[in-house]
């Protein structure tokens, strides 16, 4: 039989730590630089001794843990707060221990209050103070030795005066040999743009004059247009050479003409692969120049990261083992039965040359980062191993912690979430297909009020080059402003595929499908950016409102308010400090006017129930005065599909 000293030392520790939050099973917690990290845990021990707890933090590139005292919340729940001050990977843990000084102090004060003799207790206090002095640096050590001497002489002044500095010092210097410490958890600290961003996607080859193949220089000419609308990320689909084998023609046809340009996602030709620029678009130097020009306007240049190859990609002949071969010896092209993508070879991540493949893909990312690209939209990450992404993202951030990755994972929820856990900074969502008020409320409550908020940052898009949802096909011109308002205010990060979106492109290739007619994926398009029907002015206003209101720059405070009325959605957001509150009422259908009564949770808005408050509509600059929780609203999608109110609170109350 084993003796107690032979048992696991953890079995002898008296403090238990449970219910630590935030914690992501198998993944990373995420914050942006400057955001607070609030850590809570149940910390308790046996008996009646006083327990203390602290939050431990290890900053990127350091070896010394920093300690932040945790405060009791009641019922053995503790909380500690720290600010994430620099980019990179942090680690955090919670430590709990029996605070012998605090236990002694509490008991001694009670005995003093009861008039008991505390001579022995003071002698014990002297031992504790002297031991703490041995662990302290000067001049604290000298002070503690003087306290110990005072205790031996029967001096209770330090106790009676309830000196908080002395108590804090003794807790900080407490003996921790028997402390319980949780397993360290990983935290990713990103640039603020990972939390708050507005993306604009365009095809560079359609940026030229009519019928002319565009260039990266033409894209640079469009930067004032993009930045002028308030978008701070310009995202380009693949800019690499395009294969000719099985090249797709207009509308995804299998019979391209001699001048057809093919799909940018069929990457690679004799002119190069993933680290090359299509000659018709420009050169590496043009990419670097575009990134610099964008940065001057406060815009990040984002590139598509699509790890797949055309049959003409150099890797197909240089590294045949990186591709899966069928029984007849041919390479397996991409399929999603019954769909076939004959112009694309998927990469075989089960190759025996895993090290060579993974290193080559890492080199691709680093190549573009070296040219100034610090943001990537990743195509179909759910078709590659989670282990690969965990490794790649960590390797890139080790060298360049400023890089941001957006996951295009239109897939099953658990898979989407797993990709966020392994390190993707942002994630596409199912917003594109959520139409009814109850669907939107249910989905965004899940995104913002569950553990998802700790690791999955939603980036919501009304459309993409692959997805023209039915409501944009059939909802008429008014549906585009509706979906823009919803996307821009429900989530801190949003994006559009333009100019198709602002110009109201709504024609499907076939009824019941989501492919665009004459899709830019397969042919050049020419867009009239000066069209009088463009909703670019609305997009500009939406992004200006977002930039001016911290409430809209995060997702954690999104709250929905009940509405009596069909097709109306009401929700609010407030800044973390509660000083900025935005209230939105939006119609979700575009056919006819809608009316209803909203029932506001006034505590969420920080207003008194018995006092009037002003609402400033940030879309049309009108002002309204409301009082009480209930208010009548009327919205006409043809003229005013939404209210975006700033809540003006002359006598604000504390928000929850």
- The residues annotated as belonging to the active site are 379, 408
Residue indicated by tokens 């023609």:
249
Distance CA 63, CA 40 (A): 24
Written as six digits, the tokens of 40 are: 């809570």
Residue 32, CB-side half-sphere exposure with 13 Å CA sphere: 19
Specify which residues 553 forms β-bridges with: none
Q: What is the CA 331 to chain-centroid distance, rounded? A: 38
Burial class (CB in 10 A: 0-12, 13-18, 19+), 186: middle
Written as six digits, the tokens of 191 are: 């640039």
Alpha-carbon Rg for the chain in angstroms: 30
Distance CA 216, CA 490 (A): 33
426 and 194 Cβ atoms separated by less than 8 Å = yes
Output the DSSP codes for 479-490: HHHHHHHHHHHH
Which residues have CB under 8 Å from 5's CB, separation 6+? Answer: none
Written as six digits, the tokens of 169 are: 């010092």
Q: Which of 143, 135, 126, 121 is nearest to 177 (CA)?
A: 135
Q: What is the CA 385 to chain-centroid distance, rounded? A: 21
End-to-end CA distance of the chain: 55
Q: Work out whether the CA dihedral 171, 174, 180, 181 comes out positive or negative.
A: positive
Distance CA 461, CA 494 (A): 6
Output the DSSP codes for 388-449: HHHHHHHHHHHH-TT-EEEEE--S-HHHHHHHHHHT-SEEE-SGGG--SHHHHHHHHHHHHH
457 and 425 Cβ atoms separated by less than 8 Å = yes
Task: Find the angle CA(199)-CA(202)-CA(205) to the nearest 5 degrees.
Answer: 155
Q: Tell me the H-state helices in 229-267.
A: none
Phi and psi angles of residue 535, each rounded to the nearest 5 degrees, phi first: -95, 20
């Amino acid at each position: 039989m084993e003796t107690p000293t032979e048992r696991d030392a953890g079995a002898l520790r008296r403090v238990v730590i449970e219910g630590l939050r935030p914690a992501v099973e198998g993944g990373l917690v995420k914050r942006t630089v400057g955001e607070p990290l609030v850590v809570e845990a149940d910390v308790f021990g046996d008996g009646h001794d006083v327990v203390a707890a602290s939050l431990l933090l290890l900053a990127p590139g350091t070896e010394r843990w920093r300690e932040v005292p945790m405060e009791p919340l009641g019922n053995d729940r503790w909380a500690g707060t720290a600010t994430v001050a620099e980019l990179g990977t942090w680690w955090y843990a919670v430590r709990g221990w029996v605070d012998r000084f605090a236990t002694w102090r509490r008991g001694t004060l009670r005995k003093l209050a009861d008039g008991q003799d505390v001579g022995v207790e003071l002698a014990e206090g002297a031992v504790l103070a002297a031991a703490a002095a041995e662990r302290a640096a000067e001049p604290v050590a000298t002070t503690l030795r003087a306290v110990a001497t005072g205790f031996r002489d029967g001096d209770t002044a330090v106790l009676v005066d309830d000196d908080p500095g002395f108590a804090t010092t003794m807790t900080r210097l407490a003996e921790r040999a028997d402390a319980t410490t949780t397993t360290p958890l990983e935290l990713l600290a990103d640039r603020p743009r990972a939390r708050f961003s507005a993306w604009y996607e365009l095809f560079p080859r359609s940026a030229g004059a009519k019928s002319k193949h565009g260039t990266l220089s033409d894209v640079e000419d469009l930067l004032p247009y993009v930045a002028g609308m308030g978008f701070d990320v310009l995202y380009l689909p693949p800019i690499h050479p395009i294969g000719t084998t099985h090249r797709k023609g207009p509308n995804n046809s299998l019979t391209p003409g001699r001048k057809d340009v093919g799909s940018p996602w069929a990457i690679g030709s004799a002119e190069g692969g993933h680290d090359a620029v299509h000659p018709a678009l420009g050169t590496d130097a043009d990419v670097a120049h575009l990134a610099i020009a964008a940065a001057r306007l406060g815009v990040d240049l984002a590139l598509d990261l699509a790890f797949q190859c055309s049959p003409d990609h150099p890797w197909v002949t240089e590294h045949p083992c990186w591709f899966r071969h069928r029984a007849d010896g041919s390479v397996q092209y991409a399929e999603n039965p019954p769909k076939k993508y004959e112009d694309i070879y998927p990469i075989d991540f089960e190759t025996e040359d895993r090290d060579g493949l993974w290193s080559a893909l890492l080199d691709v990312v680093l190549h573009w980062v070296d040219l100034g690209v610090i943001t990537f939209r990743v195509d179909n990450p759910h078709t590659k191993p989670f282990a690969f992404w965990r490794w790649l993202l960590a390797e890139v951030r080790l060298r360049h912690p400023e890089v941001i990755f957006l996951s295009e994972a239109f897939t099953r929820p658990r898979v989407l979430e797993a990709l966020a856990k392994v390190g993707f900074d942002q994630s596409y969502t199912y917003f594109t297909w959520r139409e009814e008020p109850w669907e939107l409320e249910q989905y965004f409550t899940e995104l913002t009020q569950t553990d998802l908020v700790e690791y999955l940052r939603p980036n919501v898009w009304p459309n993409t080059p692959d997805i023209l949802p039915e409501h944009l096909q059939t909802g008429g011109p008014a549906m585009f402003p509706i979906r823009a308002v919803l996307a821009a205010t429900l989530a801190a990060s949003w994006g559009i595929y333009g100019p198709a979106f602002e110009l109201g492109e709504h024609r499907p290739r076939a009824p019941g499908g989501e492919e665009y007619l004459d899709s830019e994926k397969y042919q050049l398009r020419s867009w009239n950016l000066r069209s009088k029907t463009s909703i670019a002015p609305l997009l500009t206003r939406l992004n200006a409102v977002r930039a001016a209101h911290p409430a809209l720059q995060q997702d954690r405070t999104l709250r929905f308010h009940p509405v009596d009325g069909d097709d109306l959605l009401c929700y609010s957001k407030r800044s973390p400090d509660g000083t900025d509150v935005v209230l939105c009422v939006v119609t979700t259908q575009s056919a006819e006017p809608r009316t209803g009564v909203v029932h506001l949770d006034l505590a969420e808005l920080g207003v008194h129930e018995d006092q009037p408050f002003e609402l400033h509509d940030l879309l049309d600059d009108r002002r309204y005065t409301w009082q009480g929780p209930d208010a009548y609203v009327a919205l006409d999608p043809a003229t005013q599909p939404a209210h975006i109110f700033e809540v003006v609170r002359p006598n604000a109350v504390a928000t929850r």
